[in-house]
Structure 1
């Protein structure tokens, strides 16, 4: 009965044409939800929506979270908001902090206000592991953070502060999900700020040497998209009062170096083209604003949400590589 109540719900996914957002759209439509997608296509792509644009339960609103009227239009009749819209990338935020702040902070407040006024049941938003900043401790635990190391990190931390204030001041239900290096199908390999995994995959498929920033010993808690989808659904349906108005790490709970990552990619891709095994790896300077090591504690999500991630880096990479090989050659 409870599941039927949720399936009859309408979910707004901001940034729904992006990598994570379009995967969320696809998943919730497959479960029978009504889905509204709000996107301005600054970084998202219409081809990510093509498979379900004829679905009667899907509605696309082309708009910008920096525009209050677009936000107000998008939340009409909506039960839950999964707020994914943002300008990602640490390097982009260093190059253009003003636009990053405008989208990630002003746009976030617009969505909070619109959701509050529309009496949305719960506002779930994409937070970021960058919030941990210069905190040295591993694994990263939700209530221990350091100073942010980039404009992007500042914006994502400010989102958490605003969500907390809207919870305490207006009685809104909010849950933040601190994403750790998400990867998987539909992730864009092109552009100046492409994420490392799809970028490396494309280079290796073209027999080009991937360039690692630094010596390759920086480590990350790489998180496959299906683990992220699981967390968004759990955050939406939970009735545990301790899980509401807080933040959760969204990760696998393991870490691998960039050298490990490239070696896995070469191994899995060489099954499709044996020449890839012999592609050399190159090394460049370290990138400003990068955190040396990242590893999430997922104990809180396990305890309060029942989170049980199914995809390790290796399992996720094999799925992602197969998707890229079929779709992007």
Structure 2
């Protein structure tokens, strides 16, 4: 099998490539990445062919996708705040980029295209847990661009008979996740700050909740989907129904590190979802044997990786207010 991973030098992409490299039936892995948010370091010692460039380039996609069994489309400009700062860039990378990848897969008759959407599309919808058939109420350009990703996947399945599998990711975390930029996700920001002895910066009061999903659980589902040729024209939540507040996450991190951490609070961020939790019934139906890594075990693995790699995070000024 030849597998193409867009965004392959990124956090999830490189972890997926590592998992694919352990499967004997996978003969070739091609990564496509423009390295705007991914890193060559993520691919060190992995048996992958890297094509450096944008997914908006049809010639590059033709070279990558030709002869592929499956395409896993993870390439995107992530981050809600980044999309608020640059909505047009977010749209081009995420919505138009998805269209270009689907067109390439259609041109070359790829048997399976797996795509990454985001739980952010639920947005202001207050219903928990989040079922896939809930009304999307996106609060950011990023969420809108990911909703377009799903819509294009569904349309290509309907119009061209393509085998697609769109997933909604929920706050994926783990090794290789970047912490050294202003748009870093909360888990790497907190872990990096804690290891460096800096205060943990919380936007809002910390009671907002997330369904954190360890990257190893995500790659297990995707590799299983590739091996069994799973498709689903309707979007599938890729999370396991856990729900923890940011303050609860900090408590878990204190347990892993066996020490108290200083926390400071700032204003909530525009576009952030208040609460998130996946309904995983559809996921369990499609992938009944996949076991999720617990948040605590995943956090320990993440802390261990950061401890060995000592990644630092860019500081973002906030008003100081100590947790009690």
Q: What is the TM-score when the length of structure 2 is the normalising length?
A: 0.92
- Residues 81 and 124 of structure 1 are in contact (CA less than 8 Å); yes or no, is this contact kept in structure 2? yes
> Is contact 1:238-1:305 (8 Å) kept?
no
1:173-211 Cα shifts (integer Å, max 9, x gaps): 111110000000111111010111111111111111011
Equivalent of residue 288 in structure 1, options 256, 266, 270: 270
2:19 equivalent to 1:27: yes
What SS does the corresponding residue of 2:191 show, helix, strand or coil?
A: helix
1:84 equivalenced with 2:74 (yes/no): yes
Q: Measure how far apart 1:308 and its partner are.
A: 2.9
The answer on 1:320 being equivalent to 2:302 is yes
Question: Shift of residue 315 of structure 1?
Answer: 1.4
Deviation at 1:150, TM superposition (A): 0.3
**Whole-Å separation in 1 of the counterparts to 2:270 and 2:65:** 37
Please give the alpha-carbon distance, in whole angstroms, between the structure 1 residues aligned to 2:42 and 2:241.
Answer: 28
- How far the C-alpha of 1:59 sits from its partner, in A, is 1.2
Q: What are the residue-to-residue correspondences of 1:69-108 with 2, within 5 Å?
A: 69-108=59-98
Q: How many angstroms does 1:245 deviate by?
A: 1.6
**Contact residue 133 and residue 145 of structure 1 kept, 8 A:** no
1:51 corresponds to which of 20, 24, 45: 45
Cα drift, residue 15 of structure 1? 0.3
Q: Secondary structure at the match of 2:5?
A: strand
Cα distance in 2 for residues equivalent to 1:20 and 1:206: 24
* Alpha-carbon distance in 2 for matches of 1:225, 1:218: 21
Q: Provide Cα deviations, 1:69-122, integer angstroms capped at 9, x if missing partner.
A: 111111011110010000000000001000000110111111100100000000
Contact 2:166–2:232, Cα closer than 8 Å, also in 1: no
> What pairs with 1:1-329 in structure 2 (closer than 5 Å)?
9-32=1-24, 33=26, 34-52=28-46, 55=47, 58-238=48-228, 243-270=231-258, 277-306=259-288, 308-328=290-310
- Return 5+ residue gaps in structure 2 as ranges: 312-324
Structure 1 unaligned blocks of 5 or more = 1-8, 271-276
* Shift, 1:237, TM fit: 3.2
The alpha carbon displacement at 1:307 in A equals 5.1
Which SS does the other structure have where 2:91 is aligned? Answer: helix
> Which residue in the other structure is 2:319 paired with?
none
By percentage of residues, which structure has more helix?
A: 1
Q: Distance in 1 between matches of 2:17 and 2:55?
A: 18
Q: Could you tell me how far 1:239 is from its partner in structure 2?
A: 5.2
Q: TM-score, normalised by structure 1?
A: 0.91
Structure 1 residue 279: deviation in Å?
Answer: 3.0
Q: Distance in 2 between matches of 1:250 and 1:19?
A: 16
For the residues of structure 2 that align with 1:168 and 1:310, how far apart are their CA atoms?
Answer: 31
